[in-house]
A and B are shown apart, each in its own frame.
Chain A
Amino acid sequence: MGSVTFDAEDRWNAFITICREAGHGDGPMAGVAVAVKDNISTAGIQTTCGSRILKDYIPPYDAHVVELLKAAGAAVVGKTNMDEFGMGTTTESSAFGPTTNPVDTARVPGGSSGGSAAAVAAGMVPMALGTDTGGSIRCPAAFCGIVGLKPTYGRVSRYGLVAYANSLEGVGPMAGNVTDVARLFSVIAGHDARDATSIDRPFAHTPSSNRIKGLRIGVPAEFFGKGVDPAVAEQVRRAIGDLADLGAEIVDCSMPSMAFALAAYYVTCTCEASSNLARFDGVRYGPDIASKRSWHEAYQEHRREHFGKEVRRRIMLGTFALSAGYYGKYYAKAQAARKNVGEDFARLFADVDVIAGPTMPTTAFALGEKTADPLSMYLADILTVPANLAGVPAISVPCGTVDGLPVGLQLIGRHCEEERIIDTAYAYEEVRR
């Protein structure tokens, strides 16, 4: 038993809440400072989801992942900044102001787990928890030049993660290198009866570069298609070439379902958000509602005042897509497109072991560059959403820079084969050193 004094200066606005003195127990992670994204419940520590509607909300319980962190001896040193409820690709929609990218403070850190990525990239903490609904771990990992893993859906419990789009999202590890990502993943993976989608697949693997020879790596043409910056594409192709030099076999392939993946993702996540976020009504938690007014009047006023524009936009889009007469056009079609993505992965994974491509189509945007045009921001998620739609694991590992800004190599694996993508990322990390 002990405590960690956390006195790092937060010049990047990476944290919403900082715990200057953080107690910890014994265990394999004894005394390791870990930052936790602010949509993951921490008993006794404010959990806002980056929203004014949960300002001063103190959860009465810990998320499963936080229980596991504490049981392993880790010290939770703070709650990191994020796009409000995870809805964004830049961390600019936080009610607590944007986080800046430690590599270049005129740029966004990516999102929505931008605070966790910046805290790691700036060296404030060695590792952090993020959450990934459509790329929210991998995008900021790529933009900040760190490693981030989106696990298989169900391998990490969502109990205590404030829900935004439950069929897509999950908690995952972020760190400066693959070894630390694997170490943090070994703490948080495992079964939890309180999450009905939890699967019993603990992780106890030490990264190894000895399994790369003969590995079949699929490279879908669609990952290098329209909208992907040629300089980013070239950097990623060079990284894939490095894996070939290590003995991996590169297989050109195609993923036609990618054409509809982004639209399917945004229809699905906004529909789920419109239902999930109905609970934020000012009655049970968050700033108090004016209870003297009538039900609908009070809610409308409360939600207009305390939700940011992107959250209101997504709730309304989802409400519209699910409304009478539109369900077949949007939600049903999105689920068909989602199924096609899963089938495409299954077909490819019958032939290849890992799929590789860029994590993001570009390097980090300038602050403010995308805020006025939501659709252009959504389009940046095109390469990360397929893994969420199919529930397969994916990791982003740094693969050099373009004009001084980090580029991420994305490696996608079969369900519950985090071990394989971690080994591949580790082998690449070793040659790049």
Chain B
Amino acid sequence: MVSESDVAHIAILADIGIGDDELAEFTGQFNAILEYFDLLDQVEESGRPGAVTTNIFRDDEIAPSLPLDDVLENAGESEAGYIRAPKVM
């Protein structure tokens, strides 16, 4: 079970933004879904878990990239070939 304050905390971790008026609805739905996920407690783990895929490495090769102007076309603000982002500090 998760509480409304748990959901508010998850929203902060996920940078998702949540309103007080939404907490009850999301919390109720989360608990129904998480209760269903509890089924997984019964899964027998055979061998190493997560071994579904394997990495195959290759040497890094330099290839042409997209033109800078085309990429900046979709950015909100740019300056001297850089994209302007919100302040961090």
Contact = CB atoms under 8 A, between A and B. Distances in A.
Given A266-B37, A291-B85, A294-B87, A335 B49 contact: yes
Interface string A40-61: 0000000000000000011011
A60 B12 CA distance: 32
B70 A60 contact: yes
Given A260-B43, A274-B14, A330-B40, A339 B85 contact: no
Interface in A245-273: 259-260, 263-264, 266-267
Interface string B71-89: 1011111000001111110
A260 B41 CA distance: 10
Interface string B1-42: 010001100111111111100000010011011101101111
Contacts of B42: 260
Interface residues of A, number: 65
A298 B86 contact: yes
B81 to A, nearest CB: 14
Is chain A's interface secondary structure helix, strand, loop, or mixed overall?
helix
Contacts of B39: 259-260, 263
A319 B13 contact: yes
Contacts of A263: 36-37, 39-40
Interface string A299-329: 1111111010000110111011101000001
Contacts of A57: 74
Nearest to A270: B33
A399 B40 CA distance: 34
A285 interface: yes
Given A260-B43, A299-B86, A329-B41, 10 more contacts: A263-B40, A267-B40, A283-B84, A284-B71, A294-B88, A299-B17, A319-B14, A321-B37, A334-B40, A338-B52
8 contacts: A283-B75, A291-B86, A295-B87, A298-B86, A303-B17, A313-B30, A340-B44, A342-B52
Interface of A: 57-58, 60-61, 167, 259-260, 263-264, 266-267, 274, 278, 281-305, 307, 312-313, 315-317, 319-321, 323, 329-330, 332-340, 342-343, 373-375, 378
